Amino acid sequence: MIYYIDAADVEVVKEAASTYPIAGVTMNPTIVKNDLKNKKVPFFELTTQITKLIGEEKEFHIQVVATKAEDMVKEAQALRKNIKGNLYVKIPATTAGYQAMMTLKELGIKTTATAIIDVNQALLAANAGASYVAIYVNRVSNISADGDQVVLNAVKAFRQNNLTTKVLGSSFKNALQVEKAAMNGAYGVAVGYDVFKASATHPLTDSSVEQFKLDWESVYGEGNKIYQF
């Protein structure tokens, strides 16, 4: 399973890209609002900064704002024109969204279907030409359904129907949901940085490392490193 960081904060992207093996960055209007915290940064200036940090090989998934198909296509074309690198345009899994996905497929612009709540939406998006489908795991669970099961069912449905579209888990609130997405066969996950770091670390690991340090120094002296011998 591969990992994407949900972020529009340049410093978060910089730290994540230099510290962890991430496949790229994902962004939507809500992430932009929350991360910028009312800072007025020109949009394409922001995307340029992020592209420079992650490079042109890693994926950059950016969501449209429009709700009509023709406007979604225009926004996707504007994104493609202004953003260098490995761009995927995020299109919501709505009636207009499926239409836009089909058009963008013909235009050679890669898409990620987003805001998916059930398997039917995932299947329709795959048939419309989406490269990825992003299932909102926690949002599904918040309506008394099973977001983990939706990921599993989508993975199974894609395999049974020989679809090449990849399943992403997204909208996570804790590390356990991320782990379950992996166990349920998700190709990748898009994760907020706080949840990502919670998935990457564990207090028992930290305490073990501290004990290793203390034991080493009891034998070879405080502050001495292996490379010094």
pLDDT in the model for residue 37: 87
pLDDT in the model for residue 5: 98
Which stretches in the chain have pLDDT values below 50?
A: none
Give yes or no for a contact between 104 and 75, defined as CB atoms under 8 angstroms apart: no
The torsion angle over the Cα atoms of residues 32, 34, 38 and 43, rounded to 10 degrees, is -10
Tokens of 98: 């499926």
Helix, strand, or coil (residue 116): strand
Find all residues with CB under 8 Å of 29, minimum gap 6, and list them.
63, 65
- Look up residue 165 and give its DSSP letter: P
Give yes or no for a contact between 25 and 50, defined as CB atoms under 8 angstroms apart: yes
Domain ranges within the chain, ordered by starting residue: 2-200
Give bridge partners of residue 86 from the DSSP assignment.
59
Give bridge partners of residue 189 from the DSSP assignment.
3, 169
Helix, strand, or coil (residue 188): strand
| Cα-Cα end-to-end distance for the chain | 39
Q: What CATH number is given for 2-200 in this structure?
A: 3.20.20.70
Active site residue 105: no
pLDDT in the model for residue 143: 85
* CA pair distance 20, 174, nearest whole angstrom: 18
* Global pTM value: 0.94
**Element spanning 180, H or E:** helix 175-183
Helix pair 10-19, 193-200: axis angle to 10 deg: 20
pLDDT in the model for residue 144: 78
Give bridge partners of residue 6 from the DSSP assignment.
26, 192
Catalytic residue of the set 33, 37, 52, 90: 90
Give yes or no for a contact between 191 and 172, defined as CB atoms under 8 angstroms apart: yes
* CA pair distance 184, 167, nearest whole angstrom: 10
- Look up residue 58 and give its DSSP letter: S
* CA pair distance 10, 59, nearest whole angstrom: 16
Give bridge partners of residue 114 from the DSSP assignment.
92
pLDDT in the model for residue 39: 82
Helix, strand, or coil (residue 227): helix
